[in-house]
């Protein structure tokens, strides 16, 4: 579990969020160009289901990473401040990325995708 104390944990949450963001809007654009769902169905269509599922998976991943980093920060001894700092900041960044993912994915619930 030493990877939880690696400095990469600090930007990792935002990297995961960025990849999800690009995949979300790329998938939306490709889905609307190739096989646009019926606008009369509203937000309940195949494209929103796929994008919503990907969003929930990303939120789950980020929350899991946040929990792992937070627990790792609590296991560190008193004299290892750098490891504790990296793990706590990593947990915070993962949590912020999860909240940003939820906030950006909310329109999937209420809006038709290709209008």
pLDDT tens-digit readout, 25-67: 999 999 999 999 988 888 999 999 999 999 999 999 999 999 9
- On whether residue 84 sits in a domain, the answer given is yes
Q: CA–CA separation, 98 vs 63, rounded Å?
A: 6
Q: What is the structure's pLDDT at 21?
A: 97
- On whether residue 33 sits in a domain, the answer given is no
104 Cβ contact list (under 8 Å, min separation 6): 21, 24
Is residue 47 within 8 Å of 29, Cβ to Cβ?
Answer: no
Q: Is the pTM of this model over 0.85?
A: yes
- On whether residue 31 sits in a domain, the answer given is no
At residue 87, the 3 state secondary structure works out as: helix
21 Cβ contact list (under 8 Å, min separation 6): 104
Give the tens place of pLDDT for each residue, 6-32.
999 999 999 999 999 999 999 999 999
- On whether residue 87 sits in a domain, the answer given is yes
- On whether residue 85 sits in a domain, the answer given is yes
Look at the chain and report how many structural domains it folds into.
Answer: 1
Q: What is the structure's pLDDT at 27?
A: 94
**Which residues form the domain of 61?**
44-115
């Amino acid at each position: 579990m030493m990877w939880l104390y690696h400095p990469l944990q600090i930007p990792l949450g935002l990297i995961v969020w960025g990849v999800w963001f690009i995949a979300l809007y790329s998938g939306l654009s490709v889905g609307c160009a190739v096989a646009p769902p019926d606008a009369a169905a509203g937000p309940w269509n195949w494209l929103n289901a796929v994008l919503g599922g990907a969003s929930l998976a990303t939120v789950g991943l980020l929350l899991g990473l946040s929990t792992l980093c937070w627990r790792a920060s609590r296991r560190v001894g008193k004299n290892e401040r750098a490891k504790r700092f990296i793990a706590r900041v990593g947990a915070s960044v993962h949590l912020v990325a999860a909240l940003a993912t939820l906030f950006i994915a909310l329109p999937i619930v209420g809006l038709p995708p290709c209008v």
